[in-house]
Amino acid sequence: MTPRAATRHWLTWVIATAGVTAVLLLVRRDLEKTHIALAYLLLVLAGSASAGHRVGLALAAVSFLLFDWGFIPPYNTLAITNPLDWFVLAAFLIVSVVAAELLHRAQREARTAGERESLREANRLKNALLASVSHDLRTPLTTIKALAHDLAGIDDRAMVIEQEADRLNRMVADLLDLTRVQSGTLVSTIEITPVDDLVGAALQRVSGAMPERNVRVELAEGGTLLIGRFDLAASLRILVNLIENAHKYSPAGAPIELLAVRRGAWIELTVGDAGPGVPEAERERIFQAFYRRPDVASDVGGTGLGLAIARGLAEAQGGTLRYLPRAGGGSLFVLSLPAADLPGQYADG
């Protein structure tokens, strides 16, 4: 409440109190003490309901004094002769203060319940929207893709339709994943996982899209099984994204390097390419959602969400994802995930 509005509030209730008192004084002769008490109680409740409990409490105190002054004989003094009147006044004060306080509390609870309810409603709407976007967009995309596939033998342009349907699907998937990463619901199962499993699944996943590209893999020296504590599906998504980026940005024929080592408490997976690298000013910005490098054509860059999702996924597993320039030109993306140590009996089957 602004100071001006607060002043106006107080003034309103001062006038209301004066008005009520004046009316009661006019008909004092015909009234009993219960009538007076009820009239003032209504005033306290009205003030408390509309202007807050501080106004309510102040009104209770003022009404108490006015009650005594104007309506408890002897009139027009605060003196009290009949001991029973003490009881009436005390009861009035207690009832009005308690009533004002209860009213205030009930209002506050109703307000927070309302806020909680609308928050829950917003969350429910968001989830429903996500589910329906994912279902309602993918179903027609399936039809478009399938029909385009059927027409591919008849008209070359059908292939473009199928490719574009795939691209649209990737965008939908990226948007959904970004919202899930941001709400922390994408990483579900952090388990003891061998790096072999992760690297193998990643190589399998990318082999279809880039059959000619050589991915040179180097694992820990001595053939030791590297074991981490991470979510396989989420880490796979990161690694596939990094390998696909390396494929997109490096010249044809240059191999992509994938290196996995144990460094202290971390498993470090490094994806290196011999592409142009990332200019110094861009090295943090490439991890921001929707950021697109000005020097890269938009049909190469994709949705601009891949690295933001990747970093979000890495951090959700207690890991990190960072960029380093590669010696001799190109980029290195380093994914660090928590390493795990096995009890002896599991170390060799």
Chain residues in the site for other proteins (CB under 8 A): 131, 134-135, 138-147, 149-150, 162, 165-166, 169, 173, 176, 188-189, 191-194, 196-197, 199-201, 203-204, 217, 219, 225, 227, 231-233, 236, 342, 346, 348-349
Identify residue 310 by its one-letter amino acid code: A
Q: How far is CA 322 from CA 284, 286, 306, in A?
A: 8, 10, 14
- Cβ proximity to other proteins, 118 vs 143, nearer residue: 143
Q: CA 174, 175, 180 angle in degrees (round to 5)?
A: 95
Which residue is it, tokens 């109703």? 110
| Dmax (CA) of the chain | 110
CB of 323 to other proteins, least distance (A): 25
The nearer residue to other proteins, 134 or 320, going by C-beta atoms, is 134
- Provide, rounded to whole angstroms, the least separation between the CB of residue 134 and other proteins: 6
Kind and range of the H or E run holding 194 = strand 191-194
Shortest Å distance, C-beta 198 to other proteins: 9
Nearer to other proteins, 227 or 286 (CB): 227
The residue (of 25 and 203) whose beta carbon lies closer to other proteins is 203
Angle between helices 33-51 and 83-151 (to 10 degrees): 30
**Shortest distance, CB of residue 189 to other proteins, whole angstroms?**
7
Nearest residue to 242 via CA among 280, 286, 208: 286
Q: Which is nearer to other proteins, 94 or 128 (CB)?
A: 128
CB of residue 148 to other proteins, shortest distance in Å: 9
By C-beta, is 44 or 227 nearer to other proteins? 227
Question: Whole-number minimum distance, CB 256 to other proteins, in Å?
Answer: 14
Q: How far apart are CA 312 and CA 332, in angstroms?
A: 18
Give, in degrees to the nearest 5, the angle at Cα 19 between 15 and 24: 150
3-state SS of 270-285 is EEEECCCCCCHHHCCH
Q: What is the spatial distance between Cα 206 and Cα 118, in angstroms, rounded to a whole number?
A: 44
Residue 241: how many CB atoms within 10 A of its CB? 24
d(CA 81, CA 136): 81
Q: Would you say 109 or 136 has its CB closer to other proteins?
A: 136
144: DSSP letter:
H
Instruction: Classify burial at 47, counting beta carbons within 10 Å of its beta carbon; exposed 0-12, middle 13-18, buried 19 or more.
Output: buried
- Distance in Å, CB of 233 to other proteins, minimum: 4
Q: How far is the CB of 163 from other proteins (least distance, A)?
A: 11
d(CA 164, CA 145): 9
Taking the least distance from each CB to other proteins, the nearer of 58 and 148 is: 148
* 7 versus 163: smaller Cβ distance to other proteins: 163
Shortest Å, Cβ 235 to other proteins: 9
Contact call for residues 25 and 70 (beta carbons, < 8 A): yes
